[in-house]
Amino acid sequence: MIGMSTILSIRRRCADGDSVAEIAREEGVSEPTVRKYRDMEDFSPQPAKRRKARASKLDPYKATIDSWLVEDRKRRAKQRHTATRIFDRLAAECGYDGGYTTVQKYVKEKKSQLKSANGQFLKLEWAPGEAQVDFGVCDFRVLGVVREVHYLVVTFPFSNVSLAQCFWGETSECVCEGLKAVFEFCGGVPLRLVFDNATGVGRRVGERVSAADTFERFAAHYGFEFAFCNPASGNEKGAVENAVGAIRRNLFVPMPRVDSLRAYNKRLLGKCMARAGKPHYLKGEPESRLFAEDAAAMAGLPAKPFRAARVAAAKTDKYGDAVIDGRHRYPLGPERGQRRVIVELGAFEASFYEPDGSPIATFERAYGDAPTRASDPVSQLALLCRKPGGWRNSAVRASIPESLSRAMDAMGKADRGAMLRMMRDVSSSSGFDATVHAMAALSGGGVPSAADVALSAACIAGGRGSISYDDAPDLGIYDAAFSKEA
């Protein structure tokens, strides 16, 4: 199977009108292969994936080779690494015991990529149908809880119109989901997109450009060109840099209060377009009128929408939990303990499948540094803080230690509300399990201090637990220190 970069090149050249025979000859593939990818309508990743080819002995050393070749760009042409010299250094300095031909093939390919990338330049004059993309960060109040939100901004410099979508992270899945929503709202696909070097779809390091597999599939599916800015070169995407701040000031102040980020995204595009009635800062015409030229220059949408998700393999632990990103647990049942499953990670959902592609379960996707478990009642906890009358029959009450539930049952409405809000806020940083165990240990005498709960929960989450001392503390020293006789 050929790589996605070759498929992307085939799609672009077909769109430019190159003949099938010419493309096949220059890309090194057969004519049926060119026709296959020219006519393919759906490049979405599939849940059931074939086993990858056996890894090459050279794989662990490729990053080292790349660094040598990138450094060579600063040297005289006659004082750069040859494939033979790289092979000798790998064997002598890095312990490589593979063959020379493998090294030679990789070095030739990598030098070709670097040479091609070195000839690319970023246009600073923007034609209709071209766009810049970047992320901003702000706070939303979601079900009563203040949470950090990452918003994707797509700006069309020709018209100065900017469209935004909100997510919990900046992964390639979030970028693709946001771009898909913008494309469908515009009724077309921009001809070219320029990204900040820090977005989740890829980056540019020196002269080397790399992109995530999900994003390359997305670009092949919709047929647009893309590029990344040079590092520390904000002037190359000045329009979207300004738009990120303008959208935050005009649409996210005061802080939005929402129940669902996905539902809010559907309204957000209309709010963005409502700002397009003002005159263009240079051209004087209304931005909405210039945006019509942007839309007219865009390519048509493909027949099928792209499924913006990343497909990967995962293995459950002995309890049947699949752990994603090292801290987010998704329970698939004890009967699936220590088994291989396929996970499809979207911007908002995580779906799990058997190796043959049959579905297992779908969960809301978790983000952030705090450990989570999909069965934790954290989402209901936020709603319960707004409607504490549902305490008695809530999943939160059923899932906490009995000592804590009894203590909260005996509290008045105000104290119980304070406990619920404390549970909600501390869970966001230390996780639900650590928080309720800390509260159970500290709530014997009423409502504990929020600072004490936060510290105890952080210790539990970090595996440190409580601190015990051999001798009881002697508080008499404080009496002496503060007495008048001292």
Q: What's residue 76's pLDDT? A: 64
Q: Is the pLDDT of residue 62 over 70?
A: yes
More confident residue, 54 or 264: 264
- Count the neighbouring beta carbons within 10 Å of the beta carbon of residue 333: 12
d(CA 103, CA 364): 44
Weakest-pLDDT range from 29-43, 363-377, 401-415, 468-482: 468-482
Question: Where does the pLDDT of residue 50 fall: very low under 50, low under 70, confident under 90, or very high at 90 and above?
Answer: low
Residue 477 lies in a domain: no
User: Tell me, what CATH number does 330's domain have?
Assistant: 2.30.30
- Judgement on whether residues 189 and 292 belong to the same structural domain of the protein: yes
Residue 166 lies in a domain: yes
Weakest-pLDDT range from 194-203, 396-405, 440-449: 194-203
- Judgement on whether residues 196 and 258 belong to the same structural domain of the protein: yes
Q: What's residue 203's pLDDT? A: 66
- Judgement on whether residues 141 and 287 belong to the same structural domain of the protein: yes
- Picking from 339, 373, 407, the residue at the C-terminal end of a domain is 373
Pairing of strands 130-142, 145-156: antiparallel
Residue 26 lies in a domain: yes
Listed in sequence order, the DSSP H helices in 16-136 are 20-27, 31-39, 62-72, 83-89, 100-118
Look up the pTM and report it. 0.64
Residue 473 lies in a domain: no
What confidence tens digit (pLDDT) does each residue in 265-310 have?
999 999 999 998 888 877 788 899 999 999 999 999 999 999 999 9
- Judgement on whether residues 264 and 336 belong to the same structural domain of the protein: no
- Judgement on whether residues 227 and 272 belong to the same structural domain of the protein: yes
- Count the neighbouring beta carbons within 10 Å of the beta carbon of residue 416: 17
Weakest-pLDDT range from 15-24, 60-69, 160-169, 204-213: 204-213
More confident residue, 299 or 198: 299
DSSP bridge partners of 362: 351
In sequence order, the 6+-apart residues with CB closer than 8 A to the CB of 264 are 166, 256, 258
- Judgement on whether residues 292 and 354 belong to the same structural domain of the protein: no
Average pLDDT over residues 6-34: 91
Q: How many domains does the chain have?
A: 5
Mean pLDDT across the chain, nearest whole number?
84
Contact 140/247 with Cβ under 8 angstroms?
Answer: no
User: What residue numbers bound the domain in which 400 lies?
Assistant: 378-461
Contact 357/313 with Cβ under 8 angstroms?
Answer: no
Average pLDDT over residues 24-37: 92
- Picking from 248, 271, 297, the residue at the C-terminal end of a domain is 297
- Judgement on whether residues 62 and 203 belong to the same structural domain of the protein: no
Q: What's residue 83's pLDDT? A: 92
- Judgement on whether residues 238 and 176 belong to the same structural domain of the protein: yes
- Judgement on whether residues 285 and 355 belong to the same structural domain of the protein: no
Average pLDDT over residues 52-70: 83
More confident residue, 429 or 349: 349
More confident residue, 352 or 124: 352
d(CA 245, CA 136): 8
Residue 339 lies in a domain: yes
Weakest-pLDDT range from 76-80, 402-406, 412-416: 76-80
d(CA 341, CA 4): 24
Query: What is the DSSP annotation of 359-415?
Result: EEEEEEPP-SSS-EETTSTHHHHHHHHH-GGGGGG-HHHHHS-HHHHHHHHTS-HHH
Average pLDDT over residues 53-78: 80
Question: Where does the pLDDT of residue 122 fall: very low under 50, low under 70, confident under 90, or very high at 90 and above?
Answer: very low
More confident residue, 15 or 386: 15
Residue 255 lies in a domain: yes
Cis bond before residue 254 (omega within 30° of 0): yes
Residue 110 lies in a domain: yes
Q: What's residue 478's pLDDT? A: 64
- Judgement on whether residues 229 and 186 belong to the same structural domain of the protein: yes
Average pLDDT over residues 141-152: 88
- Picking from 68, 93, 119, the residue at the C-terminal end of a domain is 119
Average pLDDT over residues 98-126: 74
More confident residue, 199 or 175: 175
Q: Is the pLDDT of residue 316 over 80?
A: yes
Question: Where does the pLDDT of residue 486 fall: very low under 50, low under 70, confident under 90, or very high at 90 and above?
Answer: very low
User: Tell me, what CATH number does 289's domain have?
Assistant: 3.30.420.10
Q: Is the pLDDT of residue 334 over 60?
A: yes
Question: Where does the pLDDT of residue 248 fall: very low under 50, low under 70, confident under 90, or very high at 90 and above?
Answer: very high
In sequence order, the 6+-apart residues with CB closer than 8 A to the CB of 462 are none
Burial class (CB in 10 A: 0-12, 13-18, 19+), 180: buried
- Judgement on whether residues 455 and 382 belong to the same structural domain of the protein: yes
Q: What's residue 209's pLDDT? A: 65
- Judgement on whether residues 150 and 289 belong to the same structural domain of the protein: yes
Q: What's residue 279's pLDDT? A: 87
Residue 478 lies in a domain: no
What confidence tens digit (pLDDT) does each residue in 378-390 have?
667 777 887 788 8
Amino acid at site 376 = D
Q: What's residue 400's pLDDT? A: 84
